[in-house]
Amino acid sequence: MSAGRKLVLGYGVAAALLLVAPRFLDAYWLDVLNSVGLYALLALSLNLILGDAGLFNMGQAAFYAVGAYVAAILNTRLHIPILWTLPLAGVGAALFAAAVARPVIHLRGDYLLIVTIGMGEIVRIALVNDVFGLTGGANGIFGIQRPVLFGYRIRRPEDFYWLIWAFVALTVFLFHRLEQSRFGRALNLLREDAVAAEGSGVNTARYKLVAFALGAAWAGMTGTLYAAKMTIISPESFSFWESVVLFLIVILGGSGSIPGVLIGAVLVVGLPEIFRGFATARMLVFGLVMMVMMIFRTQGLLPLRRPRFRERHLPLRTAAEELPEAGTGRAEAAR
């Protein structure tokens, strides 16, 4: 079976399971699946930056926070329905990401990592300090309205389950399309060899910036969903550890691989819920897993399968074909 068919089959099975899940699960487990869905969205958004473009971003929680706060402020102050703020939150997070990434995007791997950690912390401190008098300080913002879709009020975990996983499905579809687009291929080339990409006419600085902005936009929109689900947001939900967990999901699942990232989200967010007895040791295990993975399976659990292009349209010359030509050439020259 080809890799493409396997992928479609995998998604089919996953979709079928998710469709029947609400019949068998209670509200608690549906809420766990909601968390998995939100983390899957965030990890997919980070995967665009970290996996596809190869930019070490450990401040994804900051973009998530910007989106959530934009949505919450627009909803509580201007009473814009929360789902209508979705695009605005995305645009807000993207603009923010573009502005902060612009001066530092050229920094090499680990330096970019440090800078994005710093950026994430500055955002969190700014939120705690009630910046512009809009963010509500350490208490955050509460009283965010429930979303209404076609006149239906979304408030039970089951309602959110459909909303979140529909958004996940849409995201997976779009990101697969993006992966195969000119943009996606350019990003992959950029990650593998920046010099070769530059040489092939890829404007590397611009592509990196666009990847950053796009990833941030998706994290921002996920922030809106989170704000709508919780109805209350506070700075502690967007701490450095959120960024670490997202980073871990992408690395563990397989950097650059969409199904890998989805599996990573299930393992990192879902598994600890099953083994609740070990809840305190959760991060300990994650740390150990990160070290062991890097030593024994660097590429992640479900690594990105690189597309192989068969050179079907190029006339293939075998050695046998070439030799007589060379022979005749030499004979002609001799003559």
List contacts with other proteins (CB under 8 A). 56, 103-104, 106-111, 113-115, 117-119, 121-122, 125-126, 128-129, 194, 204, 240, 244, 247, 251, 280-281, 283-284, 286-291, 293-295, 298
Using CA atoms, how far residue 144 sits from 78, 87, 205, 241, 262, in Å, is 11, 17, 38, 25, 29
C-alpha torsion sign, points 140, 144, 146, 147: negative
Contact yes or no for 255/51 (Cβ under 8 A)? yes
Burial of 293 (0-12, 13-18, 19+ CB in 10 A): middle
> Cβ 193 to other proteins, closest distance in Å?
11
Contact 208, 93 (CB under 8 A): no
Q: Nearest approach, Cβ of 331 to other proteins (angstroms)?
A: 51
Distance CA 106, CA 195 (A): 13
CB of 274 to other proteins, least distance (A): 19
Closest to other proteins by CB, 204 vs 237, is: 204
| CB 290 to other proteins: min, Å | 3
| Least distance (Å) between residue 20 CB and other proteins | 36
The minimum distance between CB 284 and other proteins, in angstroms, equals 4
251's enclosing H/E stretch is helix 240-253
Of 90 and 264, which has the nearer Cβ to other proteins? 264
> What is the spatial distance between Cα 132 and Cα 202, in angstroms, rounded to a whole number?
39
Q: Counting beta carbons within 10 angstroms of the beta carbon of residue 299, is it exposed (0 to 12), middle (13 to 18) or buried (19 or more)?
A: middle
Structure tokens at 301: 């659990």
Say which residue the tokens 């809420």 belong to: 31
Between 119 and 164, name the residue whose CB sits nearer to other proteins. 119
Comparing CA positions, the residue from 334, 117, 157, 156 lying closest to residue 240 is: 117
306-324 residues labelled b (16+ CB within 10 A) or e (exposed): eeeeeeeeeeeeeeeeeee
> Smallest distance, Å, CB 282 to other proteins?
8
Round to whole Å and give the CA distance between 88 and 78.
13
- Please identify, using beta-carbon distances, which residue of 297 and 330 lies nearer to other proteins: 297
If the CB atoms of residues 129 and 200 are measured against other proteins, the closer one turns out to be 129
Question: Is 202:94 a contact under the CB 8 Å cutoff?
Answer: no
Q: Which is nearer to other proteins, 160 or 212 (CB)?
A: 212
Q: Closer CB to other proteins, residue 91 or residue 293?
A: 293
Q: How far is the CB of 116 from other proteins (least distance, A)?
A: 10
**Residue placing its CB nearer to other proteins in the complex, 106 or 156:** 106
Nearer to other proteins, 3 or 294 (CB): 294
Cβ 285 to other proteins, closest distance in Å?
9
Encoded amino acid at 224, one letter: T
